[in-house]
A and B are shown apart, each in its own frame.
Chain A
Amino acid sequence: DAKTTQPPSMDCAEGRAANLPCNHSTISGNEYVYWYRQIHSQGPQYIIHGLKNNETNEMASLIITEDRKSSTLILPHATLRDTAVYYCIVRVTTQGGSEKLVFGKGMKLTVNP
């Protein structure tokens, strides 16, 4: 089962910042938080990931609380093309060492004009 909880949906106005929350209260000390999004039925698109420090890249910023029990994905200037299902995922390390992502239901972000 997914180790994260997200609200099922959120609306945002075009051009405004979109702040997407995620709870992961059972996260372990060495587990990373990953964010992906899926537009229509395309393959999940990687956005960003982090362990404990805040992270920023060309797509988004990731803010992780000090206790690591929750995080927020920030899209600084949302566009209509950012409308998608966003997944907050805690990476699980398998016994074989591979990177297993357990997807939850995600959160549908709708950016409105």
Chain B
Amino acid sequence: EPEVTQTPSHQVTQMGQEVILRCVPISNHLYFYWYRQILGQKVEFLVSFYNNEISEKSEIFDDQFSVERPDGSNFTLKIRSTKLEDSAMYFCAIDGVKTTYNSPLHFGNGTRLTVT
């Protein structure tokens, strides 16, 4: 099973500050995803990223959010100006096998973002 490392494991920030969450897959993959889970709620899709551009985004993923792969390996989620309601677990996910259709997504263990 491919490994996905997310850093940091826990991020505390003040409202209005910018945060960058990082995801490092163990090898190259085609699709990258960000999901989030507010405490006690469902896991929600944020965005999918393919070939260095956004493939799809949810209505949650507004102008405050951005994603990129700055060096071809790290995959980042940036929240430009955090709000209290951005407090959540953020999960990065990758497809399992880069050339197989319907390969399952594999998730990292998440970054817990706390906005104060």
Does A45 make an interface contact (CB < 8 A)?
Answer: yes
Please tell me the number of chain A residues within 8 Å of chain B, measured between CB atoms: 25
Give the nearest-CB partner of A42 in chain B.
B109
Given known A46-B96, A94-B55, contact A41–B45 (CB-CB < 8 A): no
Does B18 make an interface contact (CB < 8 A)?
Answer: no
Q: Is the interface of B mostly helix, strand, loop or mixed?
A: strand
Cα distance, A32 to B50, chains bound together (Å): 21
Q: Flag if A96 contacts B45 (CB, 8 Å).
A: no
1/0 per position for B1-44, CB-CB distance to A under 8 A?
A: 10010000000000000000000000000010101010000111
1/0 per position for A79-113, CB-CB distance to B under 8 A?
A: 00000000100010011111111111100000000
A-B contact count (CB 8 A): 66
Give the nearest-CB partner of A94 in chain B.
B56
Set A42, A91, A94, A96: member contacting B102, Cβ < 8 A: A91
**B107 — which chain A residues lie within 8 A by C-beta?**
43-46
Does B76 make an interface contact (CB < 8 A)?
Answer: no
Does A23 make an interface contact (CB < 8 A)?
Answer: no
Residues of chain B touching chain A, judged by Cβ–Cβ distance below 8 Å, are 1, 4, 31, 33, 35, 37, 42-45, 48, 50, 55-56, 89, 91, 93, 95-96, 102-110, 112
Residues of chain A touching chain B, judged by Cβ–Cβ distance below 8 Å, are 32, 34, 38, 41-46, 49, 51, 87, 91, 94-105
